[in-house]
Amino acid sequence: MSLYFRLPPFFEYGVKFTINNLSVVLIISAFMAFWGGAAKADQITIAVLGDSLVQGYGLPQDAGFVPQLEGWLHRHGVDVTLINAGVSGDTSAGGLSRVDWTLGPDVDGLILSLGANDALRGIDPDVTRSNLDATLKIAASRPVPVLLVGIIAPGNYGPDYQDRFQAIYPALAEKYGVMFYANFIQALVDLPSRTATLAKYYQGDALHPNADGVALIVGAMGPAVAKLAATLD
């Protein structure tokens, strides 16, 4: 035997109203979850592997190269997350030892900016070249698009050393077919007075840019990074 019980019309309406609204909520929740997951999956992440120039030595956390660069990119409509993989004092050998785990599964691109400490220490350019070559080889094996950022060697060790060092970056960029930005601090080198530049845009050690110096560097390099990000869309 079956029983049939009919709710009064106003109760039926209430039940239907509740069910319909619950359905809408479930549909919206599913939609948001889908698009939220899609947005997360589509998020572009670029690791910046480098030394103290990348790490932001001597600067507040939000004034270093990586946060300023990320801010520049966002202001110019480039939705990208940057990972600060800079370690103060690191050489090309140190970067090579870290690149494998730096390029985690969520990393879509790499900015490689190492060699300044090699040059300051007078490390044989052939050693620096070998380390950077091996680092780029690992990136290529993923494969991860790269922006290779060079640095100008000081003249302390003579013109021959300087020339050999300068030749490393364009040669490797051509070998691996990666994007190339010739000199990390080019924006500061281009300023007319070295004395005034050191006073206004560098920290007291005359090696590391201050926040204003970093801003100039970011403004000059930003378009190259935006171009790298565009290849990852």
For position 168, which CATH number holds? 3.40.50.1110
Is 97 domain-assigned?
A: yes
How many residues would you count in the chain?
233
Indicate whether 175 and 89 sit together in one domain: yes
Indicate whether 19 and 112 sit together in one domain: no
Q: Distance between CA atoms of 105 and 204, rounded to whole angstroms?
A: 39
Q: Distance between CA atoms of 160 and 157, rounded to whole angstroms?
A: 8
Indicate whether 121 and 27 sit together in one domain: no
Is 152 domain-assigned?
A: yes
Indicate whether 35 and 76 sit together in one domain: no
Indicate whether 27 and 102 sit together in one domain: no
Is 1 domain-assigned?
A: no
Is 68 domain-assigned?
A: yes
Indicate whether 24 and 123 sit together in one domain: no
Indicate whether 112 and 36 sit together in one domain: no
| 64-123 pLDDT tens trace | 999 999 999 999 999 999 999 999 999 999 999 999 999 999 999 999 999 999 999 999
Indicate whether 96 and 139 sit together in one domain: yes
Cis peptide before 170 (omega within 30 of 0): no
Is 18 domain-assigned?
A: yes
Half-sphere exposure of 230 (CA within 13 A, CB side): 9
Range with lowest mean pLDDT among 11-15, 162-166, 183-187: 11-15
Is 2 domain-assigned?
A: no
Closest to 208 measured CA to CA, from 62, 52, 49, 87: 52
Q: Distance between CA atoms of 141 and 110, rounded to whole angstroms?
A: 13
What's the first-to-final CA gap in the chain, in angstroms? 64
| pLDDT (average), residues 127-132 | 98
Q: Distance between CA atoms of 207 and 121, rounded to whole angstroms?
A: 14
Q: Which residues are catalytic?
A: 52, 205, 208
What pLDDT was estimated at residue 214? 98
Answer with the residue of higher pLDDT: 37 or 99: 99
Domains: count for the chain: 2
Indicate whether 48 and 159 sit together in one domain: yes
Query: Which pair of structure tokens corresponds to residue 15?
Result: 């039940």
**Furthest-apart CA atoms within the chain: distance in Å:** 104
The mean of the pLDDT values for the chain is 87
Indicate whether 13 and 91 sit together in one domain: no
Q: Distance between CA atoms of 154 and 206, rounded to whole angstroms?
A: 13
| 172-216 pLDDT tens trace | 999 999 999 999 999 999 999 999 999 999 999 999 999 999 999
Domain that holds residue 133: 43-230
Cβ within 8 Å of residue 108, ≥6 positions away: 44, 45, 46, 144, 145, 232
Indicate whether 14 and 63 sit together in one domain: no
What pLDDT was estimated at residue 55? 97
Does 139 have pLDDT greater than 80? yes
Closest to 74 measured CA to CA, from 187, 225, 211, 180: 225
Is 120 domain-assigned?
A: yes
Indicate whether 184 and 217 sit together in one domain: yes
